[in-house]
Structure 1
Amino acid sequence: MIDKFRALPLRSRLALLVAVAVAVAVAAVSVTCWFVVRGKLYDEIDAKLKSQNAPLQSGDIDLALRNCSPTPAGRTGYGPMPVYYVQLARADSDKPCVSAYSAGTVKVDGSDQQVARDADPTVLTFRNGTDTTGKDVRVLTVAALVQGPTGGVVTDTAVMIAYPLKETEGTLNDLALLLLIVSGVGVVGAGAAGLWVARAGLKPVDRLAGAVEHVARTEDLTVRIPVEGEDEIARLSRSFNSMTAALASSRDRQAQLIADAGHELRTPLTSLRTNIELLARSDETGRAIPPADRAALMASVKAQMTELAALIGDLQELSRPDAVDRGPLKVVALHEIAEAALARARLRGPELAFVAELTPWYVRAEPAALERAVVNVLDNAVKFSPPGSTVEVALKAGDLTVRDHGPGIPADELPHVFERFWRSPSARALPGSGLGLSIVARTVQQSGGEISLGPAAGGGTRAVIRLPGAATPPPSEP
């Protein structure tokens, strides 16, 4: 049953739930209303029975007991037919003594005999019963205390006064039918209203579902859903629009990365292919290349392969999304990483002088990525420094500064230095892919820091990496 319910469309489930909820509410109200009306009608009948419970003359009761008859025999005259049932019940018999002016005979049960035995005229007992013809009646039973023939008190007799329930039951039946009809109409109307409300309320969801299906079918990420209001559907629509915008931006960046990578790879691959074809043609034709030229070709091939490998490594680094786990962040000594990077930079620039002033500073970062970033900054300083110049490196209070004495970066080119594949016109003849500073900026930002490049006083370029941290390692992570 639950599986069948879950298989229904959402709007059908909502309409069904609304109909069930209304049905339960209407049923509860209807039943309560019926019982309240029933109680009021019975209270009115009970009040009528109390008004008929006038004190009886002991002689009348004596006469009724001496001339005890199970039916209202002996009534004379042509007056109106009596409405009430009037009779006596004895504690030792279930046979009533019926008044001649009774509308009929009411069956005596054990509760009536118990009232007679209790002999307490202050207690009024009401119950529903039937007469000898099967008609339903409302019965009042109260104990009667009378003087017997010998002067003693008779305590085993009860007076029974009853009123027919035909009209009352007819009224209650009509009310039940009316409530049933109203409830049915209410449930059907609630179901129809629930279906209409579900359709109206789910229109934004239908639009959202249609947009998702369109994107899945066509991969068109330009689709946007109109947003109205501030409800949950509007929030969902905004989230979908933000998601498609982010996906479109990511796809555009991916396409741009592929295009830029293809452009950058074309040059070293073309040069490498040309050199290899020259070497292969020399072997095929038997025309030997002069040793000096061959050595130059081999050196060029080696340099191009090195440049190609570095470019592929940079592309792999940039192709990883920011959200991908890049390894656990650890507390690392930035001064030690800077010293290791300096050692590599000295090997690449043996004709340069390096001046370093490093004070301890501990940061939370991925060690390998941070070292690569520092190496890239130092490589740029080595690449643009003229022979015999000095590269100054300093680490103070979390600011790692690398200053060279090269030609510097023109002011109009500074906004582009961290863009992928961007290279200064003056640097395009030098080795490199234009990805190094992009990788540096990305790594520093992931570590919670920032990087800036600008002209240095007296010429050259000054790069500053700022990373949050402390001069001493945390006690838990020495």
Structure 2
Amino acid sequence: MSAWGLVAMRPGSDGRWHYRRSLASRVIWLTTIAVGLSVALVAVGAYFTARVQMQNTLDDSLLDRANKAAATDTLLEVGARGVPPWALGAADVRIAFVDYKGNPAILDRGPAIELGAPEIEVARGEHSSSLRTLLIAGERYRVVAVPTQQDGIALVIAQPLEDQDRTLSRLGWVTIAFGAFGVIVAALAGWTVASNGLRPVRKLTDSVEHIARTEDFTPLSIEGDDEVARLATAFNHMLVALDASRVRQRQLVADASHELRTPLTALRTNVDLLTMTARQPDGLRNLPPDAREELLDDVQAQIEELTTLIGDLTSLARDEPMPIQVEPVDLADVVDHAIQRVRRRAPSLEFEVFTRPWWVIGEAAELERAVTNLLDNAAKWSPEAGHVTVRLSDGVLTVDDQGPGINEADRPRIFDRFWRSPDARTLPGSGLGLAIVRQVAERHSGSVHATANASGGARMVLRLPGREKNDA
């Protein structure tokens, strides 16, 4: 990396090393190029404007002097004796005549002037004047030709461009120096902008790197309301979400460890008892059949409880949003399938079902699991030969049981993970069924809550957005 940390050389995807410019170096280069180009364009424009203006001024002056001299009646007589250069307003001008045949008459002893078609055409009267630049003896001259009072003869005046070229040369060097100075100032301005303007970005970067190293999710301090402040605000929201996710993860692990401890301890005790009995001579034969059957049933029940608990934990640990593979689902069909499953597990209960079509965009398997959990909860609390009422209308699913009901103080907590009322701790279950219902409802933009029905039992109300007809 360079002294200013502007350029770094890192390996690319092809294994070769490439230069990577930092944001500060890009700001400096862009500022330098933008301002430098602006200064250069202004300087070049000023130079060419001055050049054109000087050329136009010189041409107007030459034409004016030539026309005044050509209007003199005695010009040719005076020209025969020689016209002093100061008579035309300049000491270094060259004066000549040319007739319509192209015969020149130079009035001084200087180098010959190569007159051509433009001057001859003026002498013939084809043009009112001519103006061009000639090279005479290695020196640039501005040559003007105008007709005289005598037909067929044109007056030619040539003025050297040495003074003008010298002035333009100086102006050109001044322009180059001014452009170079502008580029240097632009580079300094870019460095200043990169140093001061990107200071909040560097500060934010240092804070983010500190969080990545220490996993300290303390929100960043925000100053102002510019783009950097908005970026810091968005990052703070991400920190809050990450911290909440970490807390939920730790809580889930802690709760899962607590819930798994009881069935694992009971299962280990029963397995140890079976192992000790099997190792004794004729131990299993001496074990009463009723005790052996009860022990095996306990092992099987505990394995099923562990299997259910692990499945619920796996489902509940999915904290991602609704998957893309969704489809229109008729909630009435979902309720019918869930009723059939629960009836096989609780054959002594009577289910009164009333449903109307209600189409929901979502996952059929997730919705069926949520509805099944609601029905299982009602079946668990209903008395033997009890009655469970299930109604679905306009996206509202209500499940009523004939159990003891839920205390009003406990209703907000029954959908929390692993929470069970004191009366429910002696009953089978993982404490995750209703938590899964709430998660599925929220994933489908719905809600679920508990209340009491007319008979004093519990009523679970699940609301899901949708429509009566399938528009797909």
TM-score normalised by the chain length of structure 1: 0.86
User: Do structure 1's residue 129 and structure 2's residue 134 form an aligned pair?
Assistant: yes
Relative distance call for 1:106 and 1:179 in structure 2 (3 A) is farther
User: Do structure 1's residue 284 and structure 2's residue 288 form an aligned pair?
Assistant: no
Q: Which amino acid aligns with 1:280?
A: T
| Aligned twin of 2:304 | 306
**Structure 1 residue 277: Cα displacement:** 0.4
| Aligned twin of 2:242 | 247
**Structure 1 residue 12: Cα displacement:** 1.5
Relative distance call for 1:8 and 1:360 in structure 2 (3 A) is closer
Q: Which amino acid aligns with 2:105?
A: C
Contact persistence 1:5–1:13 (CA under 8 A):
no
**Structure 1 residue 317: Cα displacement:** 0.4
Which of 82, 85, 94 in structure 1 is aligned with 2:94? 85
| Aligned twin of 1:421 | 418
Which of 432, 446, 461 in structure 1 is aligned with 2:429? 432
CA distance in 1, matches of 2:31, 2:386: 83
Which of 220, 227, 232 in structure 2 is aligned with 1:225? 220
CA distance in 1, matches of 2:468, 2:60: 96
**Structure 1 residue 32: Cα displacement:** 1.2
Which of 32, 35, 42 in structure 2 is aligned with 1:22? 35
Q: Which amino acid aligns with 2:293?
A: A
CA distance in 2, matches of 1:365, 1:21: 54
| Aligned twin of 1:330 | 327
Which of 447, 452, 467 in structure 2 is aligned with 1:450? 447
**Structure 1 residue 90: Cα displacement:** 4.4
Relative distance call for 1:195 and 1:272 in structure 2 (3 A) is same
**Structure 1 residue 254: Cα displacement:** 1.1
Relative distance call for 1:115 and 1:212 in structure 2 (3 A) is farther
CA distance in 2, matches of 1:216, 1:373: 38
**Structure 1 residue 272: Cα displacement:** 0.4
Contact persistence 1:373–1:440 (CA under 8 A):
yes
Contact persistence 1:89–1:108 (CA under 8 A):
no
Contact persistence 2:98–2:120 (CA under 8 A):
no
**SS across alignment from 1:387:** coil
Map 1:39-438 → 2, pairs under 5 A: 39-53=52-66, 54=68, 55=70, 60-61=75-76, 82-90=91-99, 92-93=101-102, 96-100=104-108, 104-105=110-111, 107-116=113-122, 118-120=124-126, 123-132=128-137, 134-144=138-148, 146=150, 153=151, 155=152, 157-218=153-214, 220-286=215-281, 287=283, 288-323=286-321, 325=323, 328-438=325-435
Q: Which amino acid aligns with 1:21?
A: A
CA distance in 2, matches of 1:445, 1:76: 102
Contact persistence 2:100–2:124 (CA under 8 A):
no
Q: Deviations over 1:145-188 (max 9, x none)?
A: 62xxxxxx4x2x43211223232222222222222222111110
**Structure 1 residue 11: Cα displacement:** 1.2
CA distance in 2, matches of 1:41, 1:49: 12
CA distance in 1, matches of 2:21, 2:340: 70
CA distance in 2, matches of 1:355, 1:76: 127
**Structure 1 residue 343: Cα displacement:** 2.1
TM-score normalised by the chain length of structure 2: 0.87
Contact persistence 1:377–1:440 (CA under 8 A):
yes
**SS across alignment from 2:410:** helix
CA distance in 2, matches of 1:472, 1:298: 51
Contact persistence 2:388–2:401 (CA under 8 A):
yes
CA distance in 2, matches of 1:250, 1:177: 67
Contact persistence 2:122–2:130 (CA under 8 A):
no
**SS across alignment from 1:433:** coil
Contact persistence 1:453–1:462 (CA under 8 A):
yes
CA distance in 2, matches of 1:165, 1:433: 104
| Percent identity of equivalent pairs | 37
Q: Deviations over 1:118-161 (max 9, x none)?
A: 5246x2322223443x3333221223462xxxxxx4x2x43211
**SS across alignment from 2:427:** coil
Contact persistence 1:115–1:141 (CA under 8 A):
no
CA distance in 2, matches of 1:456, 1:58: 129
**SS across alignment from 1:412:** coil
Equivalent pairs counted in the alignment come to 450
**Structure 1 residue 36: Cα displacement:** 1.4
Q: Which amino acid aligns with 2:227?
A: E
Q: Deviations over 1:441-461 (max 9, x none)?
A: 111222232211112223110
| Aligned twin of 2:12 | none
Q: Which amino acid aligns with 1:86?
A: I
**Structure 1 residue 201: Cα displacement:** 2.0
Contact persistence 1:211–1:223 (CA under 8 A):
no
CA distance in 1, matches of 2:100, 2:40: 44
**SS across alignment from 2:469:** coil
**Structure 1 residue 45: Cα displacement:** 1.8
Q: Deviations over 1:354-399 (max 9, x none)?
A: 2222233332221111111111001111111122332111122222
**SS across alignment from 1:457:** coil
**SS across alignment from 2:141:** strand
**SS across alignment from 1:470:** coil
CA distance in 2, matches of 1:76, 1:58: 18
Q: Which amino acid aligns with 1:316?
A: T
CA distance in 2, matches of 1:453, 1:305: 31
Q: Which amino acid aligns with 2:97?
A: L
**Structure 1 residue 401: Cα displacement:** 1.0
Relative distance call for 1:260 and 1:352 in structure 2 (3 A) is same
Contact persistence 2:101–2:120 (CA under 8 A):
no
